Structure 1
Amino acid sequence: MKKTTIADVAQYANVSNSTVSQYLNKRYEYMSVETRKKIEEAIEALQYRPNLMARSLKQKSTFTIGIIVANIIHDFSTKIINALEAEFDKEGFHMIVCNSADNPKKEKKHIETLLEKQVDGLIVFPTGENKNLYVRLHQQAIPIVFIDRFIEGVDIPAVLLDNFSAMNTAVETFRKHPLAIITTSLALPITPRVERLEGFRQALRNKNMLVDERYIKNGEPVEMEEIFDQLFALEQPPKGIIAANDRIFQELMIYIKKRNLRVPNDLQVIAIDDVPYANFLTPSITTLKQPILPMAQKSASLLFAKIKKEQIADEQKLYRFKPIVIHRDSTN
């Protein structure tokens, strides 16, 4: 069976070959809606499929972005991937998503694999343990943008939450004290974990409150019950807890139910990231929401500027976004 070509589509739509080519490359500036519709109908009728390899060779682009997520089970990860996909689709780009599971070796392997596939750029949630690799990639002018995290001493732009502002907002929101914060393990220098703990300390100092390290905890999710037991065994158990991510929040809610604690009477709760079920729980849980869409838009625009070798007007190392407070019943 003869393969359908651009010439076949052009003849069917009664337009030139170059007009079809412009349509396929999403260059619609001087193309009427009627012409676009005719080409679309011709492509559908003839079941035309572009030769992506030939297109890539001609334009020196695979129209593919590689994304390396730290841990795809996090609510923030899935939401930012969804928002990024919409931004890339506008430019005719596709995504390949890899999950490093916060494992530096997997992260390095994914980078090597994606570069072998000749992706046009990378968006990465870095583990913090592959600094030399990222320095080398930056020197090679590989387009890369970090999300959620950054690596000190690596000149790659990062888009992330303003974790210090988030902790200040959280501490200001609580009505009862003492306060505690729990995050996942600090075995790796992962930016949001480190910054949220330090931001919590700063927020307490700003209010002239005592910084007691017994109320500042980190660990793996499987260790959370033991960590919560330690907190509630203190002579003054916490009256408010910040769950620094959705994994910790989930473990905290399980513990609260198991111990028959009343929220907010016995314990006030604030969770980082507005997970869907926070609003459905009884009582509903106050959250600090990350502005997903603006963060995705900034990450995509930075990456496309690097791919196209354009000058970035507001070029800087870190692009921090303020959290959005969703006030609910758990802090009343």
Structure 2
Amino acid sequence: MKKITIKEVAEAAGVSKTTISRFLNHNYGNMSKETKERIAEVIQRLGYRPSKQAQALKSKHSYLIGVVVADISNMYSSLLLKGIGTILEKSGFQMIIMDAGNSVSREKELLQRLLDQSVEGIILQPSARQSEQYEFIKKHNIPLLLVDRQTEPKQWPSVLTNNVTATKEVLEKALNQGYEEFFVLSEPIKNVSTRELRSQTVVQTVLAANKKCQIIEVNSKEELIKAIDTILTKPHKKLLFASNGRVLMESLTVLINKEITLPDEIGITGFDDWSLTALVGPGITSIEQPSQKIGEVAAAELLKIVVENSEQPAEFIVPSTIRWRKSV
């Protein structure tokens, strides 16, 4: 099948090749609505697909956005990427997805690879806490936007959820329900600001009410099972708080397999990245994080920087929704 050329599109639309090029590069200027609609109709009718490489050479734009997530196997990452992709596609940009595998050294290698591919911006779920780890990106004058986590000191715009207020609201209700001991279950906290923020909020809220609280970090399912076994032996009314969706679902799996009655024997809540807690047991009270929406906001705000060259505020908060059910 013969490949349609930009010249043929221009002739069919009754405009110049320059006008078609401007349309493809979203550089509309004074182009009328009628002309834009006519060009779009011709492109669709002829099945014309512009060469991204040619566009990049002519416009000096790659139309590529790099996205690096800490762990692509996490459902949070999947929904985040879906949100980012939805917005970028509408704007004519493509994303290059990289998985750091929770490795700071691998993350740096991937970021360098993205810079070598001339991406126009980067969305990063950082694996490191220190901003200095990402200084080399600034030297390339490439816009960087963080998602889910923040680095210290704050240097780049970020899109987060309302970790503190949502956590505190759930904990205060649990305290009113008469819980005496609280246990935060989390994957390793050290390099992840979000986990630390949520855990600290639980501790501060519980200690302020003169109740007991303990943070337990787990690296494997075996460690999680052992931790839950120990917690179940505690005599007082107790509550588990899971720091993210993976820990929450794995904890629920352990409790269900042990035939533990919720919330009679133990209460449980936490962050849910998967929106699945309504399907478990009596229905799990959870903080439902809008992972896909965070991705959409991140992509939209990065494009403002890339396309409009506009300065953005330091932090965007996409609120989570608390789902009050029967596990607390």
TM-score by length of structure 2 reads 0.88
Deviation at 1:73, TM superposition (A): 2.3
Q: 1:309 to 1:138 in 2, by over 3 A?
A: farther
Is 1:324 equivalent to 2:300 in the alignment? Answer: no
Which sits farther off after the overlay, 79-88 or 129-138?
129-138
What CA distance in whole angstroms lies between the structure 1 residues aligned with 2:140 and 2:54?
25
Contact conserved, 1:221 with 1:247, CA < 8 A, in 2?
Answer: no
Partner of 2:198: 196
Deviation at 1:191, TM superposition (A): 1.0
Q: 1:125 to 1:161 in 2, by over 3 A?
A: same
Contact conserved, 1:246 with 1:275, CA < 8 A, in 2?
Answer: yes
What CA distance in whole angstroms lies between the structure 2 residues aligned with 1:309 and 1:129?
29
Deviation at 1:325, TM superposition (A): 0.6
Deviation at 1:44, TM superposition (A): 4.3
- Counterparts of 1:198-277 in structure 2, within 5 Å, are 198-206=200-208, 208-213=209-214, 216-222=215-221, 223-236=223-236, 239-277=238-276
- Give CA deviations for 1:87-118 in whole Å, capped at 9, x if unaligned: 21232111111111211122111101111111
Deviation at 1:32, TM superposition (A): 3.4
What CA distance in whole angstroms lies between the structure 1 residues aligned with 2:213 and 2:171?
14
- Give CA deviations for 1:34-74 in whole Å, capped at 9, x if unaligned: x4454345334544331222211222211111110111222
What CA distance in whole angstroms lies between the structure 1 residues aligned with 2:323 and 2:313?
31
Is 1:307 equivalent to 2:306 in the alignment? Answer: yes
SS in 1 for 2:234: coil
> Percent of counterpart pairs with the same letter?
25
Query: Which amino acid in the other structure matches residue 74 of structure 1?
Result: N
Deviation at 1:235, TM superposition (A): 4.0
What CA distance in whole angstroms lies between the structure 2 residues aligned with 1:27 and 1:292?
32
SS in 1 for 2:66: strand
SS in 2 for 1:115: helix
- Counterparts of 1:103-252 in structure 2, within 5 Å, are 103-128=103-128, 131-174=131-174, 175-177=177-179, 178-186=181-189, 188-206=190-208, 208-213=209-214, 216-222=215-221, 223-236=223-236, 239-252=238-251
Partner of 2:49: 49
Query: Which amino acid in the other structure matches residue 327 of structure 1?
Result: W
Contact conserved, 1:65 with 1:119, CA < 8 A, in 2?
Answer: yes
Deviation at 1:309, TM superposition (A): 6.3
Structure 1 runs, 4 residues or longer, greater than 6 Å off: none
What CA distance in whole angstroms lies between the structure 2 residues aligned with 1:185 and 1:150?
16
Point out where structure 1 has 5 or more consecutive residues left out of the alignment. Answer: none
Q: 1:310 to 1:38 in 2, by over 3 A?
A: closer
What CA distance in whole angstroms lies between the structure 2 residues aligned with 1:62 and 1:301?
17
Query: Which amino acid in the other structure matches residue 276 of structure 2?
Result: Y
Partner of 1:98: 98
What CA distance in whole angstroms lies between the structure 2 residues aligned with 1:47 and 1:323?
42
Contact conserved, 1:104 with 1:129, CA < 8 A, in 2?
Answer: no
Query: Which amino acid in the other structure matches residue 180 of structure 1?
Result: F
Contact conserved, 1:66 with 1:114, CA < 8 A, in 2?
Answer: yes
Point out where structure 2 has 5 or more consecutive residues left out of the alignment. Answer: none
Contact conserved, 1:295 with 1:321, CA < 8 A, in 2?
Answer: yes
